[in-house]
Amino acid sequence: MPYPDVDSVSSSNNRLITEELDYDIPNLKNEFDQLFVALTNEQRDIFVDIIDAVKHNKGGIFFVYGYGGSCKTFLWKTISGAIRAQGQIVLNVASSGIASLLLIGCRTTHSQFIILINLIEDSFCSINEKSGLASLVRKTSLIIWDEAPMVHKHAFEALDRTLKDILKCVNPTNSNIPFGGKVIVFWREGNLGGPNDGEAIVDIPRDIVITNPHDPIGSLISFVYPSILENFNIVDYFQERAILAPKNEVVQEINDRLLSLFPGEQKEYLSSDSLCRSEFAHDEFDANLYSPDVLNGLKVSGIPNH
């Protein structure tokens, strides 16, 4: 007597699998019928190749290349709808959070497969082979990865090792097949009318380029805040301008440079590092809620008016 399929037995208790199968099948079939007839010939060829690989459990890696506006979301919805309408699982993932909002049930790749942020050459995804996520991966028929070129190659290598490790229990030969024999589609974007070699020249308007390599922050301040000494008393002048910075230390450096431009002597206003207990005479006082770090966070620097 054969051993029971552990994944099949546990599927009903696996929340991840239940969520991925919780689709309105009749509605999906109707939606798919409408999408499929609207496919172009090129899109239909891609659709047939991918669906054929899924249907016959062939495994395989597909690289779909197209320029922005080539209706990739439309194609992905058609492929996902066709597979989900058959009661199978499609995992739609994307390299960025914004792209993940375009497809139903889509998540970022790092979130879906628990890919480490700091990757090395031999990294694995943090998926235990006995976990519910591992069972979900084993039952998945297709993985669609949008914006694939945006991540480092170590992310693909980590997923490849992890899928091989998870799927070898289904078939030992899967450990020798790319991505454990799963069907995976990677999307790459190019330029309209450009060569499909994965490389392109991007023209950046000169008026937004910092051309001074010796003092880039000074150049940025001059660009965003022109004639600042003549306009710093005008409220609307600052409301219409802002500089976005990646780190707090860069923000501090920009603020310091801006403050140094204003005339007058700088004043520093300090907050109290403790509260007056008399204010809490009739209430319980919890000093832990008002630590010196929190109170000193109110410290500000300013320039006196002239």
Give the whole-angstrom CA distance, residue 92 versus residue 100: 8
Helices (H) and strands (E) counted in the chain, each on its own, are: 13, 7
Which residue segment(s) compose the domain that 225 sits in?
Answer: 203-262
Residue 161 lies in a domain: yes
pLDDT for the residue 301: 42
Among all chains, which residue has been given the structure tokens 């004639």?
Answer: 227
pLDDT digits (tens, 9 = 90+) for 44-81: 999 999 999 999 988 999 998 876 666 788 898 999 99
Question: Which of 249, 261, 264 is CA-nearest to residue 218?
Answer: 261
Which residue is associated with the tokens 């699982």?
89
Rg (CA), the chain: 28
CA 287 to chain centre: 40
Name the residue with higher pLDDT: 281 or 177: 177
Q: Same structural domain for residues 65 and 94?
A: yes
The stretch 73-94 carries a mean pLDDT of 92
Residues 102-124 have a mean pLDDT of 89
Q: Strand, coil or helix: what is 93?
A: strand
pLDDT at site 295: 63
Q: What is the structure's pLDDT at 300?
A: 43
Count of domains observed in the chain: 3
Q: 């659709």: which residue's tokens?
A: 47
One-letter amino acid for residue 276 of the chain = C
30 in a structural domain = yes
The answer on 123 and 33 residing in a single domain is: yes
Q: What backbone phi and psi angles, to 5 degrees, belong to 40?
A: -75, 170
Mean pLDDT of 277-298: 61
In this structure, the answer to whether residues 50 and 134 fall within a common structural domain is yes
Does 162 share its domain with 250? Answer: no
Mean predicted confidence (pLDDT) in 242-263: 87
Residue 198 lies in a domain: no
Both 215 and 283 in one domain: the answer is: no
> Are 182 and 143 spatial neighbours (Cβ–Cβ below 8 Å)?
yes
**pLDDT value at residue 99:** 77
The reply to whether 247 falls in a domain is yes
Residue 170: closest CA among 2, 1, 6: 6
Across all residues in the chain, what is the average pLDDT?
Answer: 82
pLDDT score, position 293: 62
Which of 137, 165, 190 is the endpoint of a domain? 190
- What is the rounded distance in angstroms from the CA atom of residue 31 to the CA atom of residue 64? 23
pLDDT at site 248: 86
Q: Report the pLDDT value the prediction gives residue 281, as an integer from 0 to 100.
A: 53
- Give percent of the chain above pLDDT 70: 78
Q: Do 48 and 115 fall into the same domain?
A: yes
The span from the first CA to the last CA of the chain, in angstroms, equals 92
Question: How do residues 116-152 score in pLDDT, each as one tens digit?
Answer: 989 999 999 999 999 999 999 999 999 999 888 888 9
pLDDT class for 304, splitting at 50, 70, 90?
very low
Residue 211: strand, helix, or coil? coil
Does 274 lie in the same domain as 257?
A: no
Site of tokens 């597909």? 62
In a domain, 142, yes or no: yes
Q: Who has greater pLDDT, 54 or 260? A: 54
Is residue 197 domain-resident?
no
CB within 8 A of 34, min separation 6: which ones? none
What residue has token string 């054969």?
2
Strand, helix or coil for residue 162 = helix
Do both 85 and 224 map to the same domain? no
Reported as a single tens digit per residue, the pLDDT across 171-215 is 999 999 999 999 999 987 655 455 544 455 667 777 778 888 889
Indicate whether 138 belongs to any domain. Answer: yes
List C-alpha distances in Å: 10 to 29, 131, 133, 138, 174.
Answer: 27, 11, 12, 12, 22
Which is higher by pLDDT, 222 or 66? 222
| DSSP E strand stretches across the chain | 60-67, 89-94, 107-108, 140-146, 183-190, 267-269, 300-302
What is the DSSP-derived secondary structure letter of residue 104?
Answer: T
Q: What percent of the chain has pLDDT over 90?
A: 41
12-53 pLDDT, tens digit per residue, is: 688 999 999 988 999 999 999 999 999 999 999 999 999 999
Q: Is the dihedral of CA 245, 251, 257, 261 positive or negative?
A: positive
104 pLDDT higher than 80: no
Same domain, 102 and 211: no
- Look at residue 37 and tell me if it is in a domain: yes
Same domain, 274 and 149: no
Residue 34 is predicted with a pLDDT of: 92
Q: Are residues 16 and 156 in the same domain?
A: yes
Mean pLDDT of 82-86: 94
> What CATH number did the domain enclosing 12 receive?
3.40.50.300
Q: Are residues 258 and 272 in the same domain?
A: no
The angle at the Cα of 69, spanning 21 to 59, to the nearest 5 degrees, equals 40
pLDDT at position 265, please?
Answer: 78
Instruction: Say how far apart CA 66 and CA 47 lie, in whole Å.
Output: 15
Confidence bin at 306 (pLDDT 50/70/90): very low
Instruction: Please report how many Cα atoms fall inside a 13 Å half-sphere around the Cα of residue 295, on the Cβ side.
Output: 13
Query: Is residue 286 very low, low, confident or very high in pLDDT (cuts 50, 70, 90)?
Result: low
The answer to whether the CB of 67 falls within 8 A of the CB of 189 is: yes
